[in-house]
Structure 1
Amino acid sequence: MLSMLRGEALRYAQIFLIVAPSFISFGYNQSGMGGVVDFPSWVRQFPQLDTIDTTGTQKSNNSTIQGTVVASLMLGACAGSLTCMWLGEILGRRKTIFSGACLGLIGQILECTSYSLPQLVVGRVLVGAGAGVLSATVPVWQSECSTAERRGRNVVLTGAFIALGYTLAQWSNFGLWHVEDEQASWRGSLAIGALFWMVIMASIFCLPESPYWLLRKNQSELAQQTLAALRAKDVSSPEVRLEMLMIESAIEQTAGKSLALSDVFRMGEDKFLYRFLLCIGLQFMQQMSGGTLISIYIPIIFQTDLGLPASTAKILAACAMTWKFIACALSFIIIDRLGRRAAFIISGGGMSACMIALTVSNSPSFAGEHAASIVSALFIFLYTTFLPVGFLGPIFLYPSEVAPAQLRVAMQAFAIANQWLWMFIVAMITPTALDTIGYRYYIVYAVIGGMIPPTIYFFYPETKNRSLEDIDRLFREAPSVLSVVSRSKMSITPTFMLDDMDKATTQEIE
């Protein structure tokens, strides 16, 4: 039974039974529909979304409707993320995750059984709501269960799982493309996502609740047992009791303050507003540097923009997403060695350079040239190398690190909702933008991507090797925003706050 697992075995169970299906589903559902919109069976069922066999004004109108339908998932996810501001603390992490999986499963069933556009949209919104709940809750749950030295690698795995979801979506769409005239092609593609929700629902209550949430609900004994299982230590061991004291100390420092959701918009001693802006800024940069553009519409870019045959476009799209999954290994290596800041800077600069290259290679000066299509394809693959370095998994890790304990779920929910909102905007306008302004569309992403390195350098503190309590203290004790960044660059012992508690802690343990 899963309840008997401890230490590493328990950590792997969390990763592969909850984190993996949550974020594989995230990527699969985000990318999957973009690959079936040109199937003849899909077009016959939903002629309002046909952009293949239409021209002129009709094509423009259908592009807008298609973008809205595809993007309706993001709108549902935005709403789902925001509900976690209340549900996350009331229900706890596990019940919130279960609720999100239930919503996603209901939506997936509605999607794959759709015979009308309204049913399809309702199903997609519910799938999005489930994905939003999980994307806002699972990284917080995982961070609160992880040690400081492993938190980065643990949570950044979410990026690899999202990329794996993209990969599975593109390869399944390519395989089903061979029976594209049958309704089973697109219905089967949409139905595959239901498997991930069912795994989550079957597993979540066999795994432990967050010890942070348990302590805030005055369930100290259960929290200590949970920590002991997560660390593979005895309940009364010095390590477990010391970590309990650290968490309790962090909670007590804000326990006397009456915190409301509105506090995230106030600076104060704890710099809540600054931390909040760090969270939502990161999500904005990820979306507006081209992440959703490439991930969702890559088959359309290859087929329509570069003029490649449908089969070639789908193979290249699947290969690009496969490479993106492989490239996630770079983030896994960098995030806890060079740090979060280095990962963001390298990723942002690289994505901007790729968007500049796409702008040039798709310009009228190179229209119809085979060499330009090859260059465009090359830089799309290069883009999928840079994106996961800092702006796939790490953007789920960083908000859960910089947010204070009592507002962690609220800030994470706001940040993820902001990400889904920009996903919605990008997914909705992309078909129309590619059809109207063409290569100029890439300029927007090139400019915003170029702003990432200086923004990260001046305003984003390093969180590598710091416990969540250490990070909280860093923000509280720094006299200004810029000093937070400068202090974060100093070498520290991950548990530097223990020096202040050493005598009292030792006496209590003895």
Structure 2
Amino acid sequence: MPLPGENAKCESTLRRRIRYSKQVVLAMGASLGMATMGMTVTWPNALLRDLRVNNATLMGTQLHLAEWQKDLMGSVVFVGSLPGILVAGWILGSLGRRRSMAVGAAPGLLGWILVALGANVSMLVLGRMLQGFTLGMVSVAATTYITELPDASIRGFACVLPTLFAEAGNLFVASLSLVLPWYHLAFVCASVTALFIVITFLLPESPSYLVFCKEDARALKVLAMLRGPDASVEEELRILKKQNEGLAGDNPGWRSLLKGAVVRRILVVVALFLVQSFSGLMVFVSNASRILRSVGSALDERHSTIVVFGVELLGCACSCCLQDRFGRRRSVVFSLVVMAAALVAMGTYVFLAGSAAPAPVEVADLPAHALNSTFYLHVPRGEDDLVEVGTELSASMMREAEAGLAGWEWVPLACLVIYMFVMCLGIRTVPYILASEYFPTTIRPQATSVCMTFASFIIFAALQTYSLLLEALTQAGLYWTYGAVATGGALFSLVFITETSGKTIG
């Protein structure tokens, strides 16, 4: 017997491919909103890198950011996402999935314009808060919409598309930052957000939502368009209604979240988000250029960042093809095990590099002729291993400072590339998938918004405490800590993740 959403009658290969292609195209349209999320998260790399060279704004003012303000450029987005997530949990049930995506994207458009015109830190923070509202609302709306749209046999592929588009947004921003200053880049991101708003009006409404609203005629019409002429859409409609009577009971909505089965599923998803953030994921995404500069990457930091985000995009593309084959649990476990190995190797390299580094040089010990010019000294101070004192250090002195690990400069970039690739195969994508798949249509927006709310708190904590943990644990210790979290997360996933691949979800 075919799964709900699959064709009961004999279907030609060509018709099946056309049907799948139609569902994927619609999912890609909704996923464009997640591309704006990727651009939002990655944009601080361009800002902070440009400010080290020229801190002038488009309006002619000067920007000076303290270390905690640099962290804030990444973390404040996830503070702004909290009201967006909560509003999404309420509004998805009244406006529907499609219109909620359009409404949620509008504040982000305003946020990008504010950031582009930002003349001071306050304008940047306000703009980033508005971008965060869009990130929260669109992530819930788009994830819910894409989960409810496709056949069960390709749902894993479709549900990875938002992450794939988010990584494409990362790479897009990293690449354009080579030729555009941060404020012009913000205008480009605003244009992409405006395009997404237009596309939402071309998408059909989710059939599951229409069933929930008792608009059976419209639901049948959308299902017929999605499933093709060979499918028994009436049977799928009946099964959708029946499945939503389970976890939600007679009181669908927020009160249904207090049911024991629902609470347990929410706790599992929240734990996965905790593992995701404190194994370093968002820290590496938001601070890739700072980290690569601090560990002494063999490549220029701009090109290294593009390599990292390019590999991340490739990892998400592979995840699209593997999710339905390997399932959610195995994907997460595999990714976390390999991530832990990469983090331990990276921490070991940084530890050995710090041990081999020359002793700090005091300004008072410099020759007299150096005191009238600027140069850069290698000093062991955690995040930045280059401290500006005056003019450039000679090439021979730079080589002497790194002589202890000569020939091994490729290690940190290689470790980060491996980390970024494998995390996209599992822990990067699966928590977002399960946050939607674990719950039926009647409570999906509310349950997903609760999971995403906790995720935003966790990501904010991971980003805002980055500099503090770096100082307390040292760079090597921080990477080893991330590796320990990844190892614990792999064991947790083996025990507690319930497989949803290929199963109907209502």
TM-score interval, smaller chain: 0.7 to 0.9
In structure 1, the residue matched to 2:26 is 14
Matched, 1:107 2:103: no
Contact map agreement 1:103 1:126 (CA 8 A) in 2: yes
Structure 1 segment 433-472 matched on structure 2, within 5 A: 433-434=469-470, 437-469=474-506
Query: Paired residue for 1:402?
Result: 438
Matches within 5 A, 1:297-312: 297-306=287-296, 312=300
Checking the alignment, whether the CA contact within 8 Å between 1:81 and 1:132 is kept in structure 2 is yes
Distance 1:307 1:460, change over 3 A: closer
In structure 1, the residue matched to 2:464 is 428
Per-residue CA deviation, residues 32-57 of structure 1 (Å, 9 max, x unaligned), is: 1223213147624476644xxxxxxx
- Does residue 258 of the first structure (1) align with residue 294 of the second (2)? no
Q: Give how far 1:411 is off.
A: 1.4
TM-superposed CA distance for 1:203, in Å, is 1.6
Measure the CA separation in 2 of the matches of 1:255 and 1:316.
48
Alignment of 1:44-443 (within 5 A): 44-45=56-57, 49-50=64-65, 62-176=66-180, 185-233=181-229, 239-253=232-246, 257-267=250-260, 271-306=261-296, 312-363=300-351, 364-367=354-357, 368=402, 369-434=405-470, 437-443=474-480
1:39 aligns with 2:77: no
Unaligned runs of 5+ in 1: 1-5, 51-61, 177-184, 470-510
**Residues 460 and 252 (structure 1 numbering): CA distance in 2 closer, same or farther, change over 3 Å?**
closer
Greater percentage in helix: 1
| SS of residue paired to 2:293 | helix
Return the TM-score normalized by structure 1: 0.81
How far the C-alpha of 1:454 sits from its partner, in A, is 1.2
Deviation at 1:282, TM superposition (A): 1.9
Return the offset for 1:254.
6.0
Please state whether the residue corresponding to 2:442 is helix, strand or coil: helix
Q: Which string of whole-angstrom CA distances, capped at 9 and with x for unpartnered residues, describes residues 136-159 of structure 1?
A: 111111111111101001111222
In structure 1, C-alpha distance between the alignment counterparts of 2:154 and 2:294, rounded to whole Å: 43
Distance 2:156 2:111 in 1: 32
Using the alignment, how far apart are the partners of 2:494 and 2:147 within structure 1?
A: 24
Aligned Cα RMSD in Å?
2.1
Displacement, 1:446?
A: 0.9
Q: Which region of structure 1 is more displaced relative to structure 2, 32-41 or 194-203?
A: 32-41
Residue type at the aligned position of 1:404: P
The structure whose Rg is larger is 2
Deviation at 1:330, TM superposition (A): 2.7
Task: Output one character per residue of 1:170-222: Cα deviation in whole Å (capped at 9) or x when no partner.
Answer: 1111233xxxxxxxx11111222112211221121221111111111121111
Q: Is the 8 A contact 2:329 2:499 kept in 1?
A: yes
Deviations 1:241-268 (A, max 9, x none): 110010111234467522442442441x
Is residue 26 from structure 1 mapped to residue 30 from structure 2 by the alignment? no
AA aligned opposite 1:416: M
Which residue identity lines up with residue 232 of structure 2 in the other structure? E
User: What is the distance in 2 between the residues matched to 1:257 and 1:72?
Assistant: 39
Q: Which runs of 5+ in 2 are unaligned?
A: 1-17, 358-401
Q: Distance in 2 between matches of 1:395 and 1:104?
A: 24
Kept after mapping to 2: 8 A contact 1:265/1:276: no
AA of the residue aligned to 1:422: I
Contact 2:63-2:120 within 8 A present in 1 as well: no
Contact 2:74–2:286 under 8 Å retained in 1? no
Amino acid at match of 2:410: I
Distance 1:44 1:372 in 2: 37
Equivalent pairs, count: 436
- Identify if the C-alpha distance between structure 1 residues 111 and 161 changes in structure 2 by more than 3 Å, giving closer, same or farther: same
- Kindly tell me: are residues 366 and 225 of structure 1, through their superposed partners in 2, closer, same or farther at Cα, counting changes over 3 Å? farther
Aligned to 1:3: none
Write the deviation string for residues 305-354 of structure 1: whole angstroms up to 9, x where unpaired: 3276xx80111111111111112233123211111111000011111111
How many angstroms apart in 2 are the aligned matches of 1:252 and 1:320?
45
Amino acid of the structure 2 residue aligned with 1:14 = L
What letter corresponds to residue 243 of structure 2 in structure 1? A
Amino acid in structure 1 at the alignment position of 2:446: A
- Pair 366,220 (structure 1): closer, same or farther in 2 beyond 3 Å: farther
Amino acid at match of 2:50: F
SS in structure 2 at match of 1:403: coil
